[in-house]
Structure 1
Amino acid sequence: MTITQHIKNPNILVYGETLIDEFPQQNVIGGAPFNVARTLSLFGARPLMVSRIGQDQNGTAILAECARTGLSAEGIQIDAQHTSGRVVVELASASNTDCIEGGEGTEGIEGIEGTTTTHRFHILGDQAYDYIDAQLVTTLMEKYYQDAPPDLIYFGSLIQRNETSQASLMALLEADITEGASKFLDLNLRDGQASLETIISSLNYCDMVKLNEDELAYVIQHACPAVAGTAIKDDEVGLRLACEAVMAEYYMQAIIVTLGARGYFYLDANGICLHSLDQSPAAIEIVDTVGAGDAFAAVFIYGWQSNWPIEKTLTAAHRFATTICGVRGAVAESKTFYQDALQAFEQMPV
């Protein structure tokens, strides 16, 4: 099977940071939204990435990665004053037996064997992605979405730390031209990078949210007044009660909680509750856990847009997130990797 590029208008809009993760041994292109957009593109979807980079070597590398993965760079603005995003990463060791969800900003994620992977991310401030120009975004929207909005708009919290990019996002989410698009929030909280006001606003705008256990606990404690102070039990009953509280507060369609090595917990407005709590974690040799959560989000969006049954969508997302832990970086170098994954998705029972 061959993944072909489409010439139709992009029907998924990904808004957020593109950046360089500076690991001790190497630099890796990253940013959760960019990881999601690249993965979707490699699967043959039609995402449009909206971000901003500097006129520098890192910006050139980001544009080259767009070309390599077939991702349109039309929505990536060039900033003559600010540098491309940078994150300085410190890390320790990782378990080689169980896949753990990791990602930009993750700290102290413990595996089944008790080995801890520690990624400490120092996210530099005042970067190009903090200054996404609203007028340029509007022009792009008018070019592609006069007849119909994108199917889905993906956004997170880091991109909202600066009022310029936050205002551009709010204008996008509130625009008449994007009315009808589903809003997917990948919360991705980073220490000191998002205010409570931003978190509450984001939850109010989204139709679906993906967050991890720590983020769910934070939302329950600080953004759900009706249940503030309630401790979350990490079993099926406790997670369901917590998810129901968030959904009741923010009237969203679905909530996805990623559970590290235990997989996921899903609840939607129709009362469908699915999880992998009873499944044994897949054994895999861990190469790098960074980007596993982004891989999950990308496949969930791909399955949602492809009208897969929700059971298949979640299973495929979980399996792919596990698989991506076996390669270096959030996005594999080999395009065959994605062709093989698509074949495996197609062979899954409906």
Structure 2
Amino acid sequence: MNNLVVGMGEALWDVLPEGKKIGGAPANFAYHVSQFGLLSCVVSAIGDDALGNEIISNFTSKGLNHQIDKVPYPTGTVQVEIDQAGIPQYEIKENVAWDNIPYTTALETIAKSTKAVCFGSLAQRNVVSRETIGRFIDAMPKNDGTLIVFDVNLRQGFYNKDILCNSMKRCNILKINDEELVTVSRMFGYPGIDLQDKCWILMGKYNLKMLILTCGINGSYVFTPGNVSFQPTPTVEVADTVGAGDSFTAAFIASVLKGKSVTEAHALAVRTSAYVCTQKGAMPVLPAEITG
């Protein structure tokens, strides 16, 4: 297994009004990457329980590679309520399996074969998983082609300035939405300037290859040194927005790894996330006209 693309962090059940669906940003990311024909892997942890076993069965049925250890904590769940605009509100259970991802010899072997990793802030709320993520990144190949994506996901106060700062130092691609950018800017002490200027500050401060800014219905931007790509958000009939951002990241990273330009990758990411918004849940099968 070489040139792996890894989604690392929370694998869990989103308990939606119509029933439960497998979720968690890293799993969503890895699943959508696999739909673009790349070798992907989910790294997480589950409990020794029925919900955990069902996650493994589901990933296996999807043909999704996984390094998911069983640990003595319950499998993670999230209570999801959808508001009238289709926007999810989350209640994320604490002290669960994905808070306690162990760093193992098997995981180190995966890290050494990883071309790109995507991780977030939520999975770092507990020191065990936070240290595992850090060790994984440290074990990855050190070359210009390695992509380390920090997808900020500020949930329920499960973050702090140190976690955000250290993650930005480790990554070379930052993905953030407009609301998160406002919060991060307040924490870092530059609240009074426009969104694009905030992005340029973060690009320079953390020496990033790229910064992806999503602004909901107001479009999205990809900043690279000296350039900005903008794409409007398509108007679609929204079923729910769960997992749309993860599918955006997956499509973008898969395209970049395939040698596409930033503009091409950005356009495909927008198309992909718009389609996911028209479907229920985070892991719909993407149509062939998107995956190619």
TM-score range, shorter chain: over 0.9
Pairing 1:265-276 to 2, within 5 Å after superposition: 265-269=221-225, 271-276=226-231
1:160 to 119, 124, 129: 124
Structure 1 position 143, deviation (Å): 6.1
Structure 1 position 264, deviation (Å): 0.6
Structure 1 position 61, deviation (Å): 1.9
Structure 1 position 89, deviation (Å): 1.5
2:142 matches 1:202 = no
1:185–1:202 contact (8 Å) kept in structure 2: yes
**Which residue of structure 2 aligns with residue 100 of structure 1?**
none
2:209 matches 1:242 = no
Measure the CA separation in 1 of the matches of 2:191 and 2:157. 22
Q: Per the alignment, do residues 342 and 143 of structure 1 end up closer, same or farther by CA in structure 2, a change over 3 Å counting?
A: closer
Measure the CA separation in 2 of the matches of 1:160 and 1:140. 17
2:96 matches 1:127 = yes
1:214 to 179, 189, 205: 179
* Secondary structure in 2 matching 1:307: coil
2:14 matches 1:18 = no
Q: Per the alignment, do residues 341 and 167 of structure 1 end up closer, same or farther by CA in structure 2, a change over 3 Å counting?
A: same
Residue 132 of structure 2 aligns to which amino acid in structure 1?
A: S
Structure 1 position 121, deviation (Å): 0.6
* Secondary structure in 1 matching 2:38: coil
1:210–1:255 contact (8 Å) kept in structure 2: yes
- Residue by residue over 1:59-88, the C-alpha shift from the partner in whole angstroms, topping out at 9 and shown as x without a partner, is 122112211221112x11112x21111111
- Residue by residue over 1:116-171, the C-alpha shift from the partner in whole angstroms, topping out at 9 and shown as x without a partner, is x342211110000011111x1x43333673xxx42112111011000011111111
Q: Per the alignment, do residues 20 and 197 of structure 1 end up closer, same or farther by CA in structure 2, a change over 3 Å counting?
A: same
**Which residue of structure 2 aligns with residue 70 of structure 1?**
63
Structure 1 position 251, deviation (Å): 1.4
**Which residue of structure 2 aligns with residue 254 of structure 1?**
210
Q: Percent identity?
A: 29
Residue 199 of structure 1 aligns to which amino acid in structure 2?
A: L
**Which residue of structure 2 aligns with residue 5 of structure 1?**
none
Measure the CA separation in 2 of the matches of 1:268 and 1:259. 17
Q: Per the alignment, do residues 144 and 229 of structure 1 end up closer, same or farther by CA in structure 2, a change over 3 Å counting?
A: closer
Q: Per the alignment, do residues 163 and 143 of structure 1 end up closer, same or farther by CA in structure 2, a change over 3 Å counting?
A: closer
Pairing 1:79-158 to 2, within 5 Å after superposition: 79=71, 81-94=72-85, 117-134=86-103, 136=104, 138-142=105-109, 145=112, 149-158=113-122
Structure 2: gaps spanning 5 or more residues: none
Structure 1: gaps spanning 5 or more residues: 1-7, 95-116, 233-238, 344-350
* Secondary structure in 2 matching 1:151: strand
- Residue by residue over 1:8-31, the C-alpha shift from the partner in whole angstroms, topping out at 9 and shown as x without a partner, is 435212211100011122111100
Residue 109 of structure 2 aligns to which amino acid in structure 1?
A: E
Give TM-score scaled by structure 1 length.
0.79
1:286–1:325 contact (8 Å) kept in structure 2: yes
Give TM-score scaled by structure 2 length.
0.94
Measure the CA separation in 1 of the matches of 2:279 and 2:191. 40
> More strand per residue: 1 or 2?
2
Q: Per the alignment, do residues 118 and 240 of structure 1 end up closer, same or farther by CA in structure 2, a change over 3 Å counting?
A: closer
Aligned residues: 290
Measure the CA separation in 1 of the matches of 2:7 and 2:16. 25
Measure the CA separation in 2 of the matches of 1:190 and 1:19. 15
Measure the CA separation in 1 of the matches of 2:276 and 2:30. 15
* Secondary structure in 1 matching 2:46: strand
1:331 to 260, 283, 288: 283
Measure the CA separation in 2 of the matches of 1:144 and 1:33. 15
Measure the CA separation in 1 of the matches of 2:20 and 2:110. 34
Measure the CA separation in 1 of the matches of 2:106 and 2:83. 44
1:283 to 225, 235, 238: 235
Measure the CA separation in 1 of the matches of 2:111 and 2:44. 16
**Larger Rg belongs to:** 1
The RMSD of aligned alpha carbons is 1.7
**Which residue of structure 1 aligns with residue 40 of structure 2?**
47
Q: Per the alignment, do residues 287 and 178 of structure 1 end up closer, same or farther by CA in structure 2, a change over 3 Å counting?
A: same
